[in-house]
Amino acid sequence: MSLLEFRDVTVDYASNEGPIPAVRGVTLTLERGEVLGIAGESGCGKSTLAATVLRLLPANAKIGGEVMLDDVDVLTMNWGKLRTVRWAEAAIVFQGALHALNPVQSIGDQIAEPIRLHKTAKDVNARVAELLQQVGLPASRAKSYPHQLSGGQRQRVMIAMALACSPDLIVADEPTTALDVMVQAQVLDLLTGLVRDLDMGMVLISHDLGVLGTTCDRIAVMYAGQVVETGAALEIFDQPKHPYTKALAGAFPRVGDPTARYAPAGLPGDPPYPGDIPSGCAFHPRCAIAIEACATTTVELVGGVRCIRVGA
Amino acid sequence: MILSTRDLKVAFGPVRAVDGVDLDLGAGEILALVGESGCGKTTLARTLLGLVKPTAGTVSFEGKPLDYRKLKQYRRQVQLVLQDPLGALNPRHTVYDAVAEGIRIHKVDRQAGRLGRTDGGPQGDEQELVADALSRAGLRPPERFFLRYPHELSGGQRQRVVIAGALVLQPRVLIADEPVSSLDASVRGEILGLLLKLREELGLTVLVVTHDLGLAWNIADRVAVMYLGRIVELGPTADVLQSPQHPYTQALLSVVPDVERTEQIVLKGEPPDPARIPSGCRFHPRCPVVMEACLTTTLPVLTPDAGHHTACLRVG
């Protein structure tokens, strides 16, 4: 039994122009003790997919397929059951810690809130102190307010909140995007250490393939609401097969790689608008190796790659 | 040298944000100024732009120290490209208005004959100048973008508008503060490529402020690593990034995600408070190879020439 299973998940946002597909049939699994990376650009559907785990989407979103959390479909849960699942079984570390924290409440109170609501610990203050220590902050910091902390410390507070009710699953949405490299390394070390020590599972969302390649066990690369490549993390980072993954990997050059010197690799064009997805392979208008058939053939995920030019 | 600083210091009360910096920017050079948040890199950039007056030391443009009572001419020559293009653009201004603002402030089109370049650059009216800047920034055909609003553009297009707004005054120097940090991976390369192209076509000098070492490797001729208000390592990009000498640079490089990972040197804690700069070498409290002498020996400001220099007792 997997900790988390997406089975052919779709998400459509209702709009005046009709339903807009943000996620178009994603199937992925995550085991305990494992870190699954989801890569892709803004608008590719990665945050929407993650939000289905806790059904945190706005009312105009229609979710299809199944999201199995410990073999129970989150999408069919009633509200009461869903509330017990949120925080206690699965928790989210949101991006932008400065905006996600309440500026007029001490961080200790904010970490304590889910503990009080879910009554998961008798001595709330002791639990808060323990959590702060787990994320590498002194327990005395509980009295601090968000503005008194640095960006890295705030992100640690967000992680402590997510851990508050000892969830089995953590979804971290761009947890290090606004942070410096050194602080990023500290936060990623902390997250992967916690997954290992507490035997949790983690879904890590990022647009930086380098971060995912060195942090995750497996990666799924998304484009226009679909998984276009999936496999072992280092393999995808080191030997990407799909032309889109190649472009993503090339965007963050390896220091010392002579081919990247004075030659920043970009990808012309913009990702498609979800309401107007190109026919055939959604990536074909931007693809450097596209052939005529790419515009008309519906491409399936074969051997972890959704591309008719790979392995052909 | 087009832009240089000597013994530059900027203090805000007890906070010594820039604490002795000698830096030379040659014409047509791309220099990356790297360091963590709070190291003073943004303050240094703002001081170079004339937005902050130094507490001590000088900023010189083409050999002449800045006259802080007459900065308008200087500001035409040295333009800023902001990070976060969504925040930098007024949501109720069209692309045309955003780019034309500089021209209107500097009254360029009316004085085109007097202020404009004589090197064949556009001398015409406002509309021509705006169109030229947009197309140089890669928004073609420019007329199609005139009446668009920021929310109608993608992130990469917005950043190009911000760059066009800086280019329209035909500056000599661009100071770009984290120009790609808020952009998607695929757009990042496009914008960096644009900076390289502008240097080639217009001979622009670019100072890129960033914490992204991959960016420096992509486009910079030289790299300056800043820590707590000082430049601690300076030199040609290949030297600094491939054989870093300073323990701080070594640590920064070791945490860049990479598959052929060498031993990571994750520094404990965050950069110390610039209001209380440690004695001796300012990096000593976090240095993995600190010696007794580092606590007491004051290190000199690095020579700003083209060589590879390191502010560390253990080096040399």
Mind listing the pLDDT tens digit for each residue in A20-68? 999 999 999 999 999 999 999 888 999 999 999 999 999 999 999 999 9
| pLDDT of B112 higher than 60 | no
Q: How far apart are CA B11 and CA B56, in angstroms?
A: 9
Listed residue (A252, A38, A305, A213) closest to B186, CA to CA: A252
Average pLDDT estimate for A147-159:
88
Contact A223, A271 (CB under 8 A): yes
Contact A311, A229 (CB under 8 A): no
Q: What is the pLDDT of residue B259?
A: 59
Listed residue (A148, A158, A166, A265) closest to A209, CA to CA: A265
Listed residue (A155, A162, A33, A160) closest to A88, CA to CA: A162
Q: Which residues of A touch B154 (CB under 8 A)?
A: 270
Per-residue pLDDT of B276-295, as tens digits, reads: 999 999 999 999 999 999 99
| pLDDT of A302 higher than 50 | yes
Contact B214 A252 (CB under 8 A): yes
Contact A262 B218 (CB under 8 A): yes
Which tokens go with B33?
A: 């100024």
Contact A182 B267 (CB under 8 A): yes
Confidence tier at B58 by pLDDT (50, 70, 90): very high
Query: How many CB atoms sit inside 10 A of residue A126's CB?
Result: 11
Residues 6 or more apart in contact with residue B66 via CB below 8 angstroms: B50, B58, B59, B60, B74
Q: How far apart are CA B190 and CA A268, in angstroms?
A: 7
Listed residue (B236, B174, B235) closest to B203, CA to CA: B174
What 3-state DSSP class applies to B13? coil
DSSP state of B141: S
Q: How far is A63 from chain B (nearest CA, A)?
A: 26
Q: Could you give the strand order of the β-sheet that contains B205-210, starting from the edge strand earlier in sequence?
A: B78-81, B173-177, B205-210, B30-34, B222-227, B230-236, B309-310
| pLDDT of B113 higher than 80 | no
Interface residues of B toward A, Cβ cutoff 8 Å, are: 36-38, 154-157, 184-193, 196, 211-214, 217-219, 237-238, 241-242, 251-253, 255-259, 261, 264, 266-267, 270
Its sign, for the CA torsion A75, A77, A78, A82, is negative
Contact B311, B226 (CB under 8 A): no
Q: Where are the alpha helices (DSSP H) in A135-207?
A: 151-163, 181-198
Q: Has the ipTM of the complex gone over 0.90?
A: no
How large a percentage of chain B has pLDDT more than 70? 93
| pLDDT of B37 higher than 90 | no
Contact B252 A181 (CB under 8 A): yes
Strand partners, A305: A229, A302
Of B211, B217, B253, the CB nearest to A253: B217
Q: Which residues of B touch A213 (CB under 8 A)?
A: 257, 259
Confidence tier at B124 by pLDDT (50, 70, 90): low
Q: How far apart are CA A139 and CA A124, in angstroms?
A: 13
Residues 6 or more apart in contact with residue A55 via CB below 8 angstroms: A63, A74, A75, A77, A82
Of B38, B157, B185, the CB nearest to A251: B185
Substitution target in B83, B256, B267 with the highest count of A β-carbons within 10 Å is: B256
Task: Give the count of Cβ contacts less than 8 A between chain A and B.
Answer: 124
Residues 6 or more apart in contact with residue B223 via CB below 8 angstroms: B31, B32, B34, B216, B233, B234, B235, B236, B237, B240, B241
> Helix/strand/coil (H, E, C) string of B23-87?
EEECCCCEEEEECCCCCCHHHHHHHHCCCCCCCEEEEEECCEECCCCCCHHHHHHEEEECCCHHH
H or E element: which one contains A245?
Answer: helix A243-251
CA distances in angstroms from B152 to A2, A270, B57, B86, listed in the order given? 42, 13, 45, 11
Average pLDDT estimate for B225-251:
96
Per-residue pLDDT of A115-149, as tens digits, reads: 998 888 889 999 999 999 888 888 989 999 999 88
Superfamily name and number for B3-87+171-187+196-224: P-loop containing nucleotide triphosphate hydrolases (3.40.50.300)
Average pLDDT estimate for A84-101:
83
| pLDDT of B271 higher than 80 | no
Considering all CA atoms of chain B, what is the largest pairwise distance in Å, rounded to the nearest integer? 65
Contact A297, A308 (CB under 8 A): yes
Q: How far apart are CA A288 and CA A228, in angstroms?
A: 16
Average pLDDT, chain B: 89
Confidence tier at B261 by pLDDT (50, 70, 90): low
Confidence tier at B106 by pLDDT (50, 70, 90): confident
Q: What is the pLDDT of residue A176?
A: 84
Per-residue pLDDT of B167-207, as tens digits, reads: 999 999 999 998 988 788 888 898 999 999 999 999 999 99
Average pLDDT estimate for A261-275:
87
Q: How far is B165 from chain A (nearest CA, A)?
A: 22
Q: How far apart are CA A94 and CA A154, in angstroms?
A: 11
| pLDDT of A170 higher than 90 | yes
Q: How far apart are CA A119 and CA A113, in angstroms?
A: 10
Q: What is the pLDDT of residue B121?
A: 46
Its sign, for the CA torsion B138, B165, B30, B175, is negative
Average pLDDT estimate for A258-262:
92
Q: Tell me the CA end-to-end span of chain B in Å, nearest whole number.
A: 27
CB environment B178-193: b (16+ within 10 A), e (fewer): bbbebbbbbbbbbbbb
CA distances in angstroms from B43 to A287, B33, B221, B250, B277, listed in the order given? 41, 12, 22, 24, 16
- Domain range list for chain B: 3-87+171-187+196-224
Q: Which residues of B touch A252 (CB under 8 A)?
A: 185, 188, 214, 257
Q: Where are the alpha helices (DSSP H) in B168-246?
A: 185-202, 213-219, 237-242
Q: How far apart are CA B212 and CA B214, in angstroms?
A: 5
Q: Residue A188: what residue type?
A: L
Q: Which residues of A touch B217 (CB under 8 A)?
A: 253, 255-257, 260-261
Q: Where are the alpha helices (DSSP H) in A206-242?
A: 209-215, 233-238
Considering all CA atoms of chain A, what is the largest pairwise distance in Å, rounded to the nearest integer? 65
Contact B185 A252 (CB under 8 A): yes
DSSP state of B273: P
Contact A239, A249 (CB under 8 A): no
Nearest CA in chain B to A211: B257
Average pLDDT estimate for B223-246:
96
pTM of the model: 0.87
Q: What is the pLDDT of residue A98?
A: 67
